[in-house]
Amino acid sequence: MKEELSPITGKPMTLVSEPDIAEFRGEKIPYIHLAYRCEDSGEQFTTDQLDEVNENQVYNAYREKKRYPFPDEIIKLRHRYGVSASMMSEIMGFGANQWRYYEAGKVPSESNAKAIMAIRNESVFRDFLESSKSEIGEKSYLKIRNREFGVYEKSSQPVLNNGFISYSPSKTAEVIKFFCTELNGVFVTKMNKLLFYSDFLKYKHDGFGLTGLEYKAITHGPVPYNYGEIYSRARGVEMEEFIYPNGTSGIMIRAIENPNMDVFTDSEKEILHKVCGRFCDYSAGEISEYSHREKGWQECSQSKDFIPYSYAFDIED
């Protein structure tokens, strides 16, 4: 988060995070409220960015509670059927641009959420398509009807422990390749922490993680769950054992192709470069020791439990 000056004193304010409860559609939703505090007056202020993070936390917790589809699945469904957002709105009988709004983060109504979940089944989508024939026109109808859609594989349900996004192996691989390329290879222990800080800072900035990875608090700091399998399956990287002169060894990850930076938004690129710049000179041992100061690790390490992304707000930006 960038530094914000108090509108009262003109001095830098402190970012504070406090448990709070918001009411949304008749439900009481606990979340972490972010605000800037003027130290002299005690007054608190928010910005457009903080308002968005606060709202996203509430919306995501509501989606999780109701088992509603998240934006990444809504986008994935549309891509499966190969139509535009406006066309999907027409086929589904939603208001103009509603599908686009849902992809951008608006929470669907109960009836629309159930309709979106129903078209995970291709036959249900085809029923909607048949019903919308007169609205979308004969040409568009035939073009969509004659397509082969393939088998739909539903992603894991987004929850707080994965940053409220479905795990993306392809995007994770691009993050790994980015760090390997920038740092000329990265040891597994250090990569675990680079991924952790990238995901948690992304969540701190907008209420969503970056990769969909879950992290466990083990002895040497936060690590992605099943990280060995993640690295061995990541496309475009290879692993090799590195042996030090003193006889100790470690696993080095190297990129064998350049990362595709087009998969990242500008804010995601900024976070990746920030994490890389902060920890570029840290050894694996040093970044592990640094991660022990994080509240999320401290409170979850004794049980070696998953670290909820809500601890992202305790990480220094």
The lowest-confidence range among 225-229, 248-252, 311-315 is 248-252
Q: What average pLDDT score do residues 161-172 get?
A: 94
Q: Mean pLDDT, the chain, as a whole number?
A: 94
* CA–CA gap between residue 256 and residue 176 (Å, rounded): 11
Q: Which CATH number fits domain 71-145: 3.40.50, 1.10.260, 1.10.3470, 1.10.10?
A: 1.10.260
Read off the pLDDT band of 308 (50, 70, 90).
very high
Q: What is the pLDDT of residues 154-166, one digit of tens each?
A: 777 899 999 999 9
Residue 164 confidence (pLDDT):
95
Q: Is the pLDDT of residue 174 over 90?
A: yes
Q: What is the pLDDT of residues 238-266, one digit of tens each?
A: 999 877 676 667 899 999 999 999 999 99
Residue 247 confidence (pLDDT):
66
Residue 172 confidence (pLDDT):
97
* CA–CA gap between residue 201 and residue 51 (Å, rounded): 17
Q: What is the pLDDT of residues 56-109, one digit of tens each?
A: 999 999 999 999 999 999 999 999 999 999 999 999 999 889 999 999 999 999
Q: What average pLDDT score do residues 18-23 get?
A: 96
Rounded to 5°, the CA angle 15-56-51 comes to 45
Structure tokens at 285: 């041992």
DSSP letter assigned to residue 164? T
How many CB atoms within 10 Å of residue 16? 12
Residue 68 confidence (pLDDT):
95
Domain locations along the chain: 14-48, 71-145, 160-314
* CA–CA gap between residue 291 and residue 296 (Å, rounded): 9
Q: What is the pLDDT of residues 200-219, one digit of tens each?
A: 999 999 999 999 999 999 99
Q: What average pLDDT score do residues 26-44 get?
A: 96
**What are the two backbone dihedrals, phi and then psi, of residue 252, each rounded to the nearest 5 degrees?**
-95, 135
